[in-house]
Chain A
Amino acid sequence: MTRAEILETTRQVIYNSVPELEGTELNEDTVINTDAAIDSMGFTLVICRLEAKFDIRIPNRQWQRLRTLGDVVDAIETRLPK
Chain B
Amino acid sequence: MTRYTGFSHLLASQAAAQPHAPAILYEKAGAKSLMTRRELLFAAQKRAAELCGKRAIFVLCDGSLENVVTVFGAVLAGVRVILADAGAQEDTLCALLEYTRADCLYCEDEELAEILTPHLDPGAPGGAGELLFFTSGTTDRNKAVVLTDASLCASAWNGSALLPLQQEDTLMCMLPLCHVFGFVCSLLWPLVCGAAVALGRGPRHYGDDCAFFEPTALSAVPLLAGFLIKHRCLNPALRLVLIGAGDCPPQLISALEAQGIFVSFGYGLTETSSGVALSLGEDKYAMTVCPEADITLAQDGEILIKAPTCMMQGYWQRPEDTAAAVTEGTLHTGDLGRWDEKGLLHITGRKKELLVLSDGTKLFLPEYEPPIRAALGTEEAAVIVRDGAPVLVIKDCGRTKAEILAALGPLMARESRARQIKDVITVAENLPRTATGKIQRWAIQQKVSAL
Contacts and interface: CB of A to CB of B under 8 A. Distances in A.
Given A33-B417, A40-B418, A45-B206, A59 B223 contact: no
Contact of B86 (A51, A60, A65): A60
B422 A33 contact: yes
A75 B224 CA distance: 25
Interface of A: 31, 33-35, 37, 39-45, 48, 51, 59-61, 63-65, 67
A63 B422 contact: no
B226 interface: yes
B166 to A, nearest CB: 29
Given A33-B422, A39-B389, A45-B231, A64 B417 contact: yes
Contact of B412 (A42, A45, A67): A67
Interface string B203-227: 1101100000000000000011011
A67 B417 CA distance: 8
B343 interface: no
Contacts of A31: 405, 409
Nearest to B387: A39
B109 interface: yes
B420 interface: yes
Contacts of B1: none
B422 A37 contact: yes
Contacts, number: 69
B421 A34 contact: yes
B75 to A, nearest CB: 26
Contact of A61 (B86, B226, B231): B86
Interface stretch (B87-95, B150-158, B323-331): B87-95
A60 B203 CA distance: 9
B413 interface: yes
B449 interface: no
Contacts of A40: 223, 359, 417-418
Contact of A41 (B112, B227, B412, B413): B227
Contacts of A61: 86-90, 109, 112
B16 to A, nearest CB: 38
B436 interface: no
A43 B317 CA distance: 36
